[in-house]
Structure 1
Amino acid sequence: LLDGNWVLVFTAFSELLPLLSVGSIPFVKVEKIGQSIDTRSLTIENSTTLSTPTFTLSFSASAAFEIRSPSRIQVEFKEGSFNPPEIKSSVDLPESVNIFGQNINLSFVQQFLNPLQNAVAGVARAISGQSPLKIPIRGGQTKSWLLTTYLDKDFRISRGDGGLFVLVKEGSSLLDW
């Protein structure tokens, strides 16, 4: 049941809170925080995707794990990876944005951006297909543990190094809420 792609729907892990707060910055959205687990190769990949009106950025950390008990694994992070930004072929601005309690209409900005669409598309073609930047993870923060306290085909609750993680299996109807 642990194999597959999981989507983080709740956490109380303090180290992820700054990342989650990025979503409160105007024009930046946390699209997805996920975890892929492959029990055959004993690997985990934690990934994050952020988006703005002009690009999408994704990064991940890969790890190997050892099974310590039926519910506990020991994790060692090996490498971080930053994918080249995916430049959107058109600037996708909302009609308005709320900044410090003020609702600001952005329709006039879109008028000025329309002529830049071709330039943005050219940059997108130049960047696409570039290899990710891989960075080895070294130091004292490479090892962690994960204890799964509940697991079924759609839902998982895990704890690890002071954090609580609630995840839903990708493709589950639970994500439609």
Structure 2
Amino acid sequence: MSEALAQQKSALLHLLEATDRGRKVSPDQKAQILSQIAVLEALNPTPKPTSAAEGLEGNWLTLFTTSTALLRLAQLPFLTTGEIYQCIRAKAGRVFNVAEIQGSGWLEAWMPRGVLAVSARFYPESERRVRVIFERLVLGSQALMSYEIESFLDLLEQAPERIPAIQIDIRRREPTGWLDITYLDEDLRMGRGSEGSVFVLKRVG
């Protein structure tokens, strides 16, 4: 990584500190963050990210997003949101969005710590765009499923019916969205979705 790229990346990460994934930003802060994202996108070291399966593979923690669907999780009654992951299994063409949540009020007794997950398939449409087909929504208690993210992902991918949780089939006849991967390096990924949302994620172990 060049020194110039490293400096721009460090500047973005500094801007994202204490933003609570985009929930706590003023209009001026948001404009500055989006401008810095565009700077990094112009320096993208992986021009054909959909061909870089090894680079996409892994579990990615959401650092920042403008996605209303994700930001609304914090506004759901009786729930608070912890970490939000996007877990990619590139060779299998699978992606899992996983939010760690905590119940409050009447829900706390059943789900003091919970998981809300959406599983989907994806396939490349161009050098940087993937088409996403959502399939299943899962909501359950971490205690009931003995939650650990890797074992949970294995079940989601191979035997979702074995997960003790509420499960809803959300498949549709037509593909339901796309994502442009606009920046990818060894530990940072950025993208822009079909609804205009921006995502910044870092790879985690």
TM-score by length of 1: 0.63
* Most deviating of 132-141 and 143-152: 132-141
Alignment partner of 1:132 out of 149, 161, 165: 165
Higher relative contact order (CA 8 A, sep 6+): 1
SS in 2 for 1:75: strand
The structure in which a higher percent of residues are strand is: 1
Q: Structure 1 residue 71 and structure 2 residue 125: aligned?
A: no
Aligned residue for 1:44? 95
Aligned residue for 2:70? 16
Structure 1 residue 68: Cα displacement: 1.0
Structure 1 residue 50: Cα displacement: 1.1
Superposed, 1:69-108 pairs within 5 Å as 69-86=126-143
Structure 1 residue 18: Cα displacement: 1.4
Report sequence identity in percent: 31
Structure 1 residue 29: Cα displacement: 4.0
CA distance in 2, matches of 1:63, 1:72: 15
CA distance in 2, matches of 1:20, 1:141: 29
Deviations 1:91-114 (A, max 9, x none): xxxxxxxxxxxxxxxxxxxxxxxx
Deviations 1:20-67 (A, max 9, x none): 345xx8x96421111110111100000111125851011101001111
Unaligned runs of 5+ in 1: 88-128, 172-177
Aligned residue for 1:31? 82
CA RMSD of aligned residues (A): 2.5
1:84 and 1:130 in contact (8 A); partners too: no
CA distance in 2, matches of 1:13, 1:37: 18
Alignment partner of 1:145 out of 173, 178, 187: 178
Tell me the number of residue pairs that the alignment of Structure 1 and Structure 2 aligns: 127
Structure 1 residue 17: Cα displacement: 2.0
Structure 1 residue 134: Cα displacement: 1.9
SS in 2 for 1:79: strand
2:94 and 2:119 in contact (8 A); partners too: yes
CA distance in 1, matches of 2:84, 2:164: 21
CA distance in 1, matches of 2:172, 2:199: 24
Aligned residue for 2:8? none
SS in 2 for 1:69: coil
The structure in which a higher percent of residues are helix is: 2
